[in-house]
């Protein structure tokens, strides 16, 4: 188990082993914090026929089927992209209505629950209202605000986060076997798995280039259009901007607290709109954000 999830895992495992786990659980937290890993570990424990010290044994028939991805009582939505349509939820519902083939429980994992269409969410509500016996559903979401309030209220909600920053940073250092740039240390605190993924790909380099662009824009007379051009369409943009505004900017310029607060508010609105505006409007929104950043920091 990932070290920062151990505490939560033990809590959930205790409930599961005392048969006090509710039928539906919602795990929320940042992308890259490990929600799905935690959910999978819990479901593995529920399926195991002879758990040992809060862990699945790994050797019983049920564990072997699960490890071979052949467990008929384990349903896992694996589609990584796009909306989750009503057909997926109907499939889940009929899975729950069938009899458990291994004679134990039936468990299901629905990651990215915020991607459910309205029809899908309504179909799921029916299952949540009348949960079948011996069934457990775990939903995960990094944007629970996009879920129907009625879905949230019918699940037991477990917020997942890193509670020991140093532990997460040490884990990242150990996993990556290379120096970790400052901004990734910060990311490790909120999303260690994502930080590791960045380190192991081109994204860490890309992020460092963006940071340099932003620093030069703030400190020198760089043209905003040039910076927008360099920044937009980069997958790492939001994370880099977030770190830059929260951490780096106050170190670079003397930024009154009030101005910093205004900027953070402005950034939050930009993040919210980022998902909704398209094309040319995206460029305009980014330009406006950078101009605001420059205005408040000079």
Which residues sit at the interface with Zn ion, rule CB under 5 A?
Answer: 48, 56-57, 60, 63
Give, in order, the Cα–Cα distances in Å from 152 to each of 188, 228, 250: 27, 38, 37
CB 37 to Zn ion: min, Å: 18
Contacts of 139 (CB under 8 A, 6+ apart): 24, 25, 26, 27, 110, 111, 113, 151, 155
Nearer Cβ to Zn ion, position 62 or 190? Answer: 62
- HSE of 103 in the Cβ direction (CA atoms, 13 Å)? 2
Q: Which of 137, 112, 161 is nearest to 21 (CA)?
A: 137
CB 76 to Zn ion: min, Å: 18
CB 156 to Zn ion: min, Å: 24
CB 146 to Zn ion: min, Å: 36
Nearer Cβ to Zn ion, position 11 or 52? Answer: 52
Cα–Cα dist 135/121, whole Å: 18
Nearer Cβ to Zn ion, position 41 or 296? Answer: 41
CB 48 to Zn ion: min, Å: 3
Q: Extract the tokens encoding 148.
A: 């129907």
Q: Which of 1, 8, 10 is nearest to 53 (CA)?
A: 10
Instruction: Give me the phi and psi of 241, to 5 degrees please.
Output: -60, -40
Nearer Cβ to Zn ion, position 74 or 171? Answer: 74
Nearer Cβ to Zn ion, position 17 or 219? Answer: 17
């Amino acid at each position: 188990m990932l070290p920062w999830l151990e505490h939560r895992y033990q809590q959930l495992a205790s409930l599961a082993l005392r048969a006090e786990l509710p039928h539906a659980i919602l795990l929320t937290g940042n992308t890259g914090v490990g929600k799905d890993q935690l959910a999978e570990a819990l479901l593995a424990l529920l399926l195991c026929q002879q758990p040992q010290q809060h862990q699945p044994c790994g050797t019983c028939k049920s564990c072997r089927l699960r490890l071979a991805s052949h467990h008929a009582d384990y349903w896992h939505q694996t589609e990584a992209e796009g909306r989750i349509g009503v057909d997926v939820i109907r499939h889940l519902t009929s899975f729950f209505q069938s009899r458990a083939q291994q004679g134990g429980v039936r468990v299901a994992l629905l990651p990215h629950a915020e991607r459910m269409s309205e029809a899908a969410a309504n179909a799921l509500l029916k299952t949540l209202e009348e949960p079948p016996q011996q069934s457990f559903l775990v939903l995960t979401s990094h944007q629970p605000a996009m879920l129907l309030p009625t879905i949230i209220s019918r699940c037991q909600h477990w917020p997942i986060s890193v509670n020991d920053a140093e532990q997460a940073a040490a884990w990242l250092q150990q996993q990556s076997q290379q120096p970790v740039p400052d901004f990734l240390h910060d990311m490790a605190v909120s999303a260690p798995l994502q930080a590791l993924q960045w380190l192991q790909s081109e994204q860490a380099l890309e992020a460092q280039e963006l940071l340099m662009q932003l620093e030069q824009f703030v400190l020198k007379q760089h043209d905003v259009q040039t910076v927008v051009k360099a920044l937009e369409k980069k997958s790492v943009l939001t994370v880099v901007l977030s770190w830059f505004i929260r951490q780096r900017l106050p170190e670079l310029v003397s930024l009154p607290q009030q101005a910093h607060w205004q900027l953070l508010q402005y950034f939050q609105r930009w993040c919210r709109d980022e998902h909704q505006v398209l094309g040319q409007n995206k460029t305009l929104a980014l330009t406006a954000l950078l101009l605001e950043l420059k205005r408040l920091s000079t």
